[in-house]
Amino acid sequence: MPLDTSTYGLALLRVDGRRWNELRRIHAQIRTQAAADGSSYLEMGHTKVMCVVTGPSEPGPRRGAAGGAAGGGGGAGGQSKDAEVVVNIVIAGFSSVDRKRRGRGDKRTLEMQSTLANTLAATLHTHLFPHSQINISLHVLSQDGSLLAALINAATLACVDAGIPMTDYVTACTAGSTSTYAANDEGADPLLDLNHQEEQELPGLTVATLGDSDRVVALVCESRVQISRLEGMLAVGVDGCKQVREILDQVIKAQGQKMILEGTVDKGTGLNDMDLD
């Protein structure tokens, strides 16, 4: 069994050999499901998720009362002038080590669904699609920390693939701190992109920003941490989001390039400024 997070101070190395400001390997693909309106597959280290977007489309028949039983609804209901964003997350039983089955009503899943729906509803131009619904299904295949961040990134990619107009990329990552709350270590370093072990042992937060800017669109912190450390963690997190944006941007551009070369789309006017070399 490997060492725990307390050995960071010995050589400034984290449990998996990274430095404090390094992201894990991110691998992403879009248009993985040809039949869907938009789809993506994303890995951040060993956290693997896939996303399928359907819509904007006419809302299906509602079950039960308003508000929707299926996951968190962002934006307004199907009758209003904005499109409703419906997020559904399925966490596969085999995704974590202890094979725990999470049911539909799992509180943590519900909370992630509503965070995601609210974040996306604020960024997607839902006012362009009145009386309609955007369905985002996310499947978690493997978990190794920073789950919410991976889900946000995958959803962004899938929305781009589906061609839904949006303000900018929403990219997310996690940030933590090298010592526990109780240790109360003044000189604790901030950490970027926590894996599962670090998430278990150390305080951390998830932050999502809009595009290249410093505008924070989602911030979730569920652990106890000294206020003095928060600023450093947030700065590192926002910086991480920018790095993630670069990576996602490359993925989108590479896909676009491929599509033009294959002739799937015309090299339209809007794509003039896209580098083809």
Partner 1 sequence: MASLKRSVESDPLAANISNKIYVRSTKSGKVQKIVREVYLRQDIPCSSKLCQRCFTTAPRDASGKLIPFVLSDSPAGTKVFPQGHYLVPDTNAFLTAMDLFEQESAFYDVIVLQIVLEELRNRSLPLYNRLLSLTKSEDKRFYVFFNEFRLETHVPRLDGETVNDRNDRAVRKAVEWYGEHLARSKGKGKDVPAIVMLSNDRDNLKKAKQEGVNACSLADYVKTLKDGEKLLDMIPETQDSDQIKEKRPGDNLYPEYFSMSKMMTGVKNNLLHQGIFNVSPYNYLEGSIRVPAFPKALLILGRENINRAVDGDLVVVEVLPKDQWKEPSTQVIEEDAITKNENPDAEESDDFVSEKERKALQEEVKRTQSKTTEGHAQPTAKVVGVIKRNWRQYVGHIDQSSVSQSANQGKKQDSVFVIPMDKKIPKIRLRTRQVSELLGKRILVTIDAWDRSSRHPSGHFVRSLGELETKAAETEALLLEYDVQYRPFPKTVLDCLPKEGHDWKVPQNLEDPGWKDRQDLRDLLICSIDPIGCQDIDDALHSRPLPNGNFEVGVHIADVSHFVRPGNAMDAEASIRGTTVYLVDKRIDMLPMLLGTDLCSLKPYVERYAFSVIWEMTPSADIVGSRFTKSVIKSREAFSYEQAQLRVDDSSQQDELTTNIRILLDLSKKLKQKRLDAGALSLSSPEVKVQMESETSDPIDVKTKVHLDTMSLVEEFMLLANTSVARRIHEAFPQTAILRRHGAPPKTNFDDLANQLKVKRGLDLSVESSRALADSLDRCVDEKEPFFNTLVRIMATRCMMSAEYFCSGTQSYPEFRHYGLASEIYTHFTSPIRRYADLMAHRQLAAAIEYEAVHPSTRSRGKLEAVCKNINVRHRNAQLAGRASIAYYVGQALRGKATEEDGFVMKIFSNGFVVLVPKFGIESLIRLRDLAETEPQAEFDAENYVLTTGGSRELRVELFQKVRVRVTDQKDETTGKRGVKMELVRTY
Query: Should residue 40 be labelled a site residue for partner 1 when binding is judged by CB under 8 A?
Result: no
- The yes or no reply on residue 33 touching partner 1 (CB under 8 A) is yes
Which residue among 77, 110, 181, 249 contacts partner 1 (CB under 8 A)?
181
Beta carbons within 10 angstroms of residue 128's beta carbon: 13
| Rounded Cα gap, residues 242 and 122, in angstroms | 19
Site for partner 1 in 61-100 (CB under 8 A): 97-98
Where helices occur in the chain by DSSP H, the ranges are 8-11, 107-123, 147-162, 196-201, 227-262
Asked if 19 touches partner 1 (CB under 8 A), the answer is yes
Taking residues 93 to 112 in sequence order and writing x for each that binds partner 1 by CB under 8 A, - otherwise, the string is ----xx--------------
Cβ nearer to partner 1, comparing 99 with 107: 99
Say whether residue 7 binds partner 1 (CB under 8 A).
yes
Answer yes or no whether residue 139 interacts with partner 1 by CB under 8 A.
no
The single residue among 38, 45, 72, 75 that binds partner 1, judged by CB under 8 A, is 45
25 near partner 1, judged by CB under 8 A: yes
User: Cβ 182 to partner 1, closest distance in Å?
Assistant: 4
Binding of partner 1 by 243 (CB under 8 A): no
End-to-end CA distance of the chain: 46
Stretch that binds partner 1, among 68-76, 189-197, 241-249, 266-274 (CB under 8 A): 189-197
**Cα–Cα distance for residue pair 49/45, rounded to 1 Å:** 11
Residue 32 makes CB contacts below 8 A (sequence gap 6+) with: 39, 40, 41, 50
Main-chain dihedrals φ then ψ at residue 220, nearest 5 degrees: -125, 125
Q: Give dist(CA 260, CA 276) in Å, integer.
A: 9
Contact 116, 152 (CB under 8 A): yes
Coil/strand/helix, residue 257: helix
Contact call for residue 198 and partner 1 (CB under 8 A): no
Give me the phi and psi of 184, to 5 degrees please: 55, 45
Peptide bond before residue 56 is cis, with ω within 30 degrees of 0: yes
Stretch that binds partner 1, among 27-35, 53-61, 80-88, 112-120 (CB under 8 A): 27-35
- Binding region for partner 1 (CB under 8 A): 1-3, 7, 10-13, 15-22, 24-25, 27, 29, 31-34, 41, 45-46, 97-98, 144, 181-182, 184, 187, 189-190, 195, 197, 224, 226, 232, 236
